[in-house]
C-alpha cells in the first residue's frame, strides 16, 4: 500500500492514524514495530510512527519531512538498524572534538554517517567542505576505535535524487538508503574507504 504523505505540519502519528483508519490501529502498529526491532519501551512516538509509515509507503523522504532534525537522525538510525547493522548515535570523539551522527557496523565494515535534514539542496562548494569534514571524522573514528575494519564516510540527505560520490564520500539520499545498505561492500571501488 502506498500512503500519500502530505507536506504539511502534521505529525507522523496523525498521518499514520489517518492512513490506518484510527488512533488505535496506529498505536497497535507502533507497538508492533517497537517489538519487531527490539526498541526500548517508550521510544519516541513520532519516530515509531515514521517507521510504520516507512513500511507502508515507498517515499522515505516524504516521511522524513514530517520529522524535526533530531527525530530525522533517530529515524535514519532506526532504518539502518532494521537493515541489520549495529547502530550507535551521536558518537563523540575527543582531541580534536568531533561528533558523528550515526556509526553503523556490520561484520565487515563500519559506516560513519552525517545526517543532513536540509530543506533545500547544498551548493557544490558546501558539499565539498562537508565531504572533507566527514572524511576527517571517519579517519579519527577509525584511529580512536582501533578497529581493523574498513570505514566508509557517508553523508545522508533528505534531498538529492541519487547516490553519488564527492571526494570519495558517499552522498546518499534517504530514498536510496535501503538499496545502498543492501548493496554496499567494502570492495566497492566507487567510494573511498578509510
At a CB cut-off of 8 Å and minimum separation 6, what does 169 contact? 131, 134, 135, 153, 154, 155, 191, 192
Q: What percent of the chain has pLDDT over 70?
A: 90
pLDDT value, residue 183:
93
Same domain? For 55 and 90 the reply is no
Do residues 61 and 110 share a domain? no
Closest CA to 156 of 185, 178, 139: 178
Confidence of residue 21 (pLDDT cuts 50, 70, 90): very high
Region 132-159: mean pLDDT is 93
Query: Grid coordinates standing for 65?
Result: 519531512
Write the pLDDT tens digit of every residue in 74-133. 888 988 988 899 999 999 999 899 999 999 999 999 999 999 987 666 778 888 999 999
What cell was used for 115?
545526517
Q: Are residues 46 and 109 in the same domain?
A: no
Task: Give the chain's domain count.
Answer: 2
The DSSP secondary-structure symbol of 133 reads H
With a cut of 80, say whether residue 41 has pLDDT above it: no
Is 6 among the domain residues?
A: no
Is there a domain that residue 78 lies in?
no
With 0-12 / 13-18 / 19 or more C-beta atoms within 10 angstroms meaning exposed / middle / buried, residue 75 is buried
Quote the pLDDT of residue 125: 86
pLDDT for 111 equals 98
Residue with cell 530525522: 72
Q: Are residues 90 and 60 in the same domain?
A: no
Identify the three-state secondary structure at position 181.
Answer: helix
For position 95, what pLDDT does the model report?
87
Is position 4 within any domain? no
For residues 62 and 93, state if they share a domain: no
Say if residue 94 is in the same domain as residue 171: yes
Q: Do 113 and 51 share a structural domain?
A: no
pLDDT of residue 1: 47
Q: Which domain holds residue 54?
A: 12-67
What local confidence, expressed as pLDDT, does residue 120 receive? Answer: 62
Residue 191 in any domain: the answer is: no
**Which is more confidently placed, 101 or 34?**
101
Q: Are residues 54 and 90 in the same domain?
A: no
- 97 and 177 assigned to the same domain: yes
Predicted local distance difference test score (pLDDT) of residue 85: 95
CATH number at residue 125: 3.40.1350
Give the chain's mean pLDDT.
87
Same domain, 116 and 157: yes
In this prediction, what percent of the chain has a pLDDT beyond 90? 51
Q: How far apart are CA 172 and CA 169, in angstroms?
A: 9
Asked, for residue 189, whether it belongs to a domain, the answer is no
Whether 155 maps to a domain, the answer reads yes
What integer pLDDT is reported at residue 102 of this predicted model?
98
Does a structural domain hold residue 5?
A: no
Q: Are 44 and 118 within one domain?
A: no
Alpha helices, H only, the chain: 12-20, 23-36, 45-56, 60-64, 69-82, 124-145, 177-183
| 150 part of a folded domain | yes
**Whether the bond into 185 is cis, omega within 30 of 0:** no
Measured distance CA(87)–CA(102) in Å, rounded: 7
Amino acid at each position: 500500500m502506498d500512503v500519500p504523505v502530505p507536506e504539511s505540519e502534521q505529525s507522523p502519528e496523525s498521518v499514520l492514524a489517518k492512513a490506518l483508519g484510527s488512533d488505535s490501529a496506529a498505536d497497535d502498529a507502533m507497538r508492533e514495530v517497537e517489538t519487531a526491532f527490539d526498541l526500548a519501551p517508550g521510544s519516541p512516538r513520532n519516530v515509531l510512527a515514521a517507521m510504520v509509515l516507512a513500511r507502508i509507503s515507498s517515499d522515505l523522504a516524504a516521511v522524513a519531512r514530517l520529522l524535526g532534525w533530531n527525530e530525522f537522525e533517530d529515524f535514519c538510525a532506526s532504518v539502518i538498524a532494521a537493515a541489520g547493522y549495529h547502530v550507535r548515535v551521536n558518537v563523540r570523539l575527543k582531541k580534536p572534538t568531533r561528533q558523528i551522527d550515526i556509526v553503523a557496523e556490520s561484520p565487515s565494515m563500519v559506516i560513519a554517517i552525517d545526517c543532513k535534514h536540509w530543506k533545500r539542496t547544498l551548493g557544490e562548494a558546501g558539499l565539498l567542505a562537508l565531504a572533507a569534514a566527514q572524511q576527517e571524522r571517519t579517519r579519527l573514528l577509525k584511529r580512536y576505535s582501533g578497529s581493523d575494519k574498513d570505514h566508509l564516510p557517508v553523508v545522508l540527505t533528505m534531498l538529492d535524487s541519487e547516490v553519488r560520490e564527492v571526494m570519495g564520500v558517499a552522498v546518499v539520499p534517504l530514498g536510496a538508503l535501503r538499496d545502498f545498505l543492501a548493496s554496499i561492500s567494502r570492495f566497492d571501488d566507487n567510494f573511498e574507504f578509510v
